Amino acid sequence: MGIVVRIWGLGGLAAALWFLSVFAQSRPDALGLDAPAAQFSAARADAVLGRVLGDQAPHPSGSPAAQAVRGRILGELAAMGVQARTQNGMSCYSQKRWDNIPCGTVTNIIAGVSPGAGKNILLMAHSDSVAAGPGAGDDGSGVAILLEAIRALKARGIEGGAKHPVIAVFTDGEEAGMVGASLYLRDPAARANVGAVINVEARGNQGPSYLFQTSAGNGKLIELYADSVKQYATSSLYSEIYKIMPNDTDLTPMLATGAPAYNFAFLGNVAHYHTPLDRRENIDPRSLQQQGDAVMELAEALAHADPQSLNGPDAIYLDVLGRWLPRLPVGWGLPLSIAAFAAIALAGYLTRRGRRTLPPPIIPALLSPLLLAAGCLGMGYVLHGLAAWISGHADPSYAHPIWLRLSLAFGVFAVAILAARGAAATACWLWFAALAIACAVLVPGLTPYFLFPALVAAPLLLVTVRGGRNVALLLAAVVALLVWLGLNASGEESLGLKMHAMFTVSAAFGLLTLLPLLGKARGWGWSFAASLLLALGLAVTAGLQPAFSTAAPERMNFVYAEKAGKASWITSPVSHLPDAVRALANFSATPQSGVAYGYAAQAGSARLAPPAAAVTRSGNEVTLDLNAPGDGIVLEVPAGARLQSLSVNGADTHAFGQYTAISCMTPDCGHARIILRLGSPDAVTLKLVARRRGLPPDGARLQRARPADAVPAQNGDQTLLAATITVPAR
């Protein structure tokens, strides 16, 4: 019985440390309207946000609402005595890793916060929203943070003492694809004068403000962040993850300048992101406060620093409970990992034979950590798959994550109890140090998650070769659990439990250090069975919950499409098309490819004029004069055309010889002149789609049938008119 109590006591310790990581994260209190003038105040930022957003209408680039928001931003700047100008023009932005080239005519606001002799310190946020939502979090919060930070910096007297000028850039067209940031950098003088950048973003409306991306060579930047900010939320792993995610912000084009750069965002409550629920009243004031504090303090520090001094080697780092930020130069990762491995091996060798925790047979002891990691990963697929099968939705925990979270936790703990049967302290910690070595070589940003706990464990194991080993193992395990369960909690916040592998694998690495303490026990079988049964029962419970709610709704758009004289209705490819929607038309049983991907139903003959283009070709240069009125266009160029570069109303950009969708997302694009420079002499068939926000009048019946737990998202409901354009051979 005592051993059973110990097993569940250690499980309770892990649960307590997870709760500590979620609920004891150091975050500032939101300051009120009466806060000192020289301090950032979330209440003042919220009031500014209310004035800037007005009626909280969506304001995508090129819309009258976007122009109105810019006018209100200019009014706020004028009221503070800040001189500002606008920058307007067509711009395109391309990346080789994309098959999409966004373009549009956008208008940036450039405001001079403080003078200086050096290069500009840029504070950036974007003023546009998606078509489906008001963008209070993304990125109205960033606009409000910059405006309140400007006010507070002026109150501090930054105008009289800064070495470098501070410039606020409120970009347009970020949601279309960083078009406004690209336009800013098209000015050679502006590009040459970028000294450092702070970009302010949001992918939700709650939670800590994460420093999730920096420029390369960030060691000095992290030191400046650590010295300037009181509450931390960052990790070198975040940048590693962000590199492989299909996400970008206005910082992406800025990084090409080579300037030191920071990227901040809060990520909590992603269910509201890019939907009508992204409203001012749903923003957590503490998130505003933490992000605003970080932006303002770093802006002042950068204004007094030499940006050249901020270049150097990368760092490896992570925050602990938002209170501490242990960090090391990346070059120290490998030698310290090797040293930790050697020290742990030495501790195992010096431990008296009778007390060694590497029992025969040796092979199971060495492989138990692999069993834990593989078992936890597999358990995640089983439990999530069970819940998804019962629910009928791919993400059964979207609205009610607690049941699947508990299921995964018990499932992981069951695997840990089983893996502990052959575990040994030396083997477990040697694995930890070995993984630190591997990460130092292959994925440096992940290194501190293994290295920092191993650096704590190594001396503790060495000083306890003659006794007190269990206490040493418990202390070292607490450090590892804090590190890994902190990652576990932040991973769920940013990626959700649909990415259950993030949850189970991070929990497994934390529990790896508990395996020697779980040990061999007569009662382990009962504990294993109880934990496994709880995991399965909770997965069933998770599957029985509604997958969506009014607070965490499903994303469902409607599209009216026309092509080749025929019309159709298209809905998003959701797991289950609601009966009320299906009853309105003969929608396909499964999602179909067409003008848009989703469930499709015939809507009779086309009733609107299709888009068209006048085509001329001179050699490999093709000129298209468009006649496609609406809110924007998409021109699809097949890979066989080998598109090399293009120009939209005089704005040039590179292409990369692959399939390319040119997305020109403002109303003037419908009458643009597009010049394509092809690598193929052959005839080419292009697809031209004119986009219009909203549906024809008879689409209102579909919108009325949309369930209460579903909302439009991203581009929202829209009308798409498609046509093919033939380009003759050279």
Amino acid in position 167: I
| Nearest-angstrom CA–CA distance, 138 and 147 | 15
Q: How far apart are CA 543 and CA 322, in angstroms?
A: 34
Tokens matching residue 87 = 């920058």
Q: Which residues pair with 281 in a beta bridge?
A: none
pLDDT tier at 644, thresholds 50, 70, 90: very high
If pLDDT is split at 50, 70 and 90, which confidence band does 522 have? Answer: low
Cα 65 to Cα 52, 87, 195, 581, distances in angstroms: 11, 18, 32, 30
% of the chain residues with pLDDT over 90: 86
Interatomic CA distance for residues 689 and 632, integer angstroms: 9
> Mean pLDDT throughout 66-78?
98
Indicate whether 726 pLDDT > 90.
yes
| Helix 401-419 with 524-544: angle, nearest 10 deg | 160
Expressed in angstroms, the distance from the first to the final Cα of the chain is 85
Strands (E), 443-563: 554-555, 558-563
Strand partners, 636: 661, 687
* Whether residue 242 has pLDDT greater than 90: no
Distance (Å, whole) CA 482 – CA 474: 12
- 494, 370 contact by CB (below 8 A): no
Whole-number average pLDDT of the chain: 94
Instruction: Report which DSSP code applies to 713.
Output: -
Q: Report yes or no: 189 and 128 within 8 Å, Cβ to Cβ.
A: no
Six-digit token string for 302: 């950068």
Token reading at 5: 């109590």
Give me the phi and psi of 574, to 5 degrees please: -70, 165
pLDDT of residue 289: 98
Among the listed residues 238, 209, 455, 248, the one whose alpha carbon sits nearest the alpha carbon of residue 332: 455
- DSSP assignments along 149-179, one per residue: HHHHHHHHTHHHH-SS-EEEEEES-HHHHSH
Please answer whether residues 123 and 169 qualify as being in contact, where contact means their C-beta atoms are separated by less than 8 angstroms: yes
CA dist., res. 128 & res. 666, Å (int): 12
Q: Are 237 and 502 in contact (CB under 8 A)?
A: no
The mean-pLDDT minimum among 118-127, 185-194, 216-225, 464-473 falls in 464-473
φ, ψ of residue 322 in degrees (nearest 5): 75, 5
> What's the pLDDT band for 358 if we cut at 50, 70, 90?
very low
Contacts of 118 (CB under 8 A, 6+ apart): 163, 164, 165, 195, 306, 307
CA 39 – CA 155 distance, rounded (Å): 8
Cβ neighbours, 10 Å, residue 730: 14
99 Cβ neighbours under 8 A, 6+ residues apart: 658, 659, 660, 661
pLDDT at 1 over 50: no
Q: Which domains does the chain have, with CATH numbers?
A: 2-23+329-544 (no CATH), 42-320 (3.40.630.10), 556-730 (2.60.40.10)
369 falls in which pLDDT band (50, 70, 90)?
confident
Query: Residue 39: which pLDDT band, with cuts at 50, 70 and 90?
Result: very high
Residue 364: predicted pLDDT: 56
In 10 A of CB 55, how many CB atoms?
Answer: 7
Structure tokens at 144: 């409000």
15-20 average pLDDT score? 95
Question: What average pLDDT does range 160-170 have in this prediction?
Answer: 89
**Could you give the percent of the chain with pLDDT greater than 70?**
97
Query: Which pTM does this prediction carry?
Result: 0.94
User: What mean pLDDT do residues 191-195 have?
Assistant: 95
How far apart are the C-alpha atoms of 587 and 430, rounded to whole Å?
58
Q: HSE-up of 476 (CA within 13 Å, CB side)?
A: 35
The closest alpha carbon to 119, from 249, 257, 262, 213, belongs to 257
pLDDT digits (tens, 9 = 90+) for 586-623: 999 999 999 999 999 999 999 999 999 999 999 999 99
Burial label for 615, CB within 10 Å (0-12, 13-18, 19+), is middle
Rounded CA gap, 512 and 251, in Å?
A: 37
Q: How confident is the model at residue 518 (pLDDT cuts 50, 70, 90)?
A: confident
| Count of CB atoms situated within 10 Å of the CB of 284 | 21
pLDDT tens figures, 667-715: 999 999 999 999 999 999 999 999 999 999 999 999 999 999 999 999 9
Higher per-residue confidence, 282 vs 359? 282
pLDDT of residue 495: 84
* pLDDT (tens digit per residue) in 286-344: 999 999 999 999 999 999 988 778 888 999 999 999 999 999 999 999 999 999 999 99
Q: For position 520, what pLDDT does the model report?
A: 58
pLDDT value of residue 352: 67
The pLDDT score that the predictor gives to residue 456 is 97
Question: Widest CA span of the chain, in angstroms?
Answer: 88
Q: What local confidence, expressed as pLDDT, does residue 709 receive? A: 96
Residue 650: count of CB within 10 angstroms of its CB: 10
> pLDDT value at position 351?
82
Give dist(CA 419, CA 657) in Å, integer.
Answer: 51
Least confident of 206-220, 353-367, 393-407: 353-367
What local confidence, expressed as pLDDT, does residue 313 receive? 94
- The angle at the Cα of 632, spanning 630 to 635, to the nearest 5 degrees, equals 120
State both tokens at 44: 């003042």
Q: What is the pLDDT of residue 62?
A: 96
Query: How confident is the model at residue 366, as a pLDDT?
Result: 62
What are the respective helix, strand and coil percentages of the chain, to the nearest 5?
50, 20, 30
What is the Rg, in whole angstroms, of the alpha carbon atoms belonging to the chain?
28
Q: Are 175 and 60 in contact (CB under 8 A)?
A: yes
* Sequence-ordered list of residues with C-beta below 8 angstroms from that of 9, at least 6 positions apart, any chain: none
pLDDT at residue 359 tops 60: no
Task: Give the pLDDT confidence score for residue 467 in this predicted structure.
Answer: 83
| For residue 365, pLDDT beyond 60 | no
Helices (H), 392-468: 401-419, 425-442, 447-463
- As to burial, measured by CB atoms within 10 angstroms (0-12 exposed, 13-18 middle, 19+ buried), residue 98 is middle
* pLDDT band at residue 490 using 50, 70 and 90 as cut-offs: very high
- Mean pLDDT check: name the lowest of 46-50, 355-359, 626-630: 355-359
Q: 114 - beta bridge partners?
A: 166
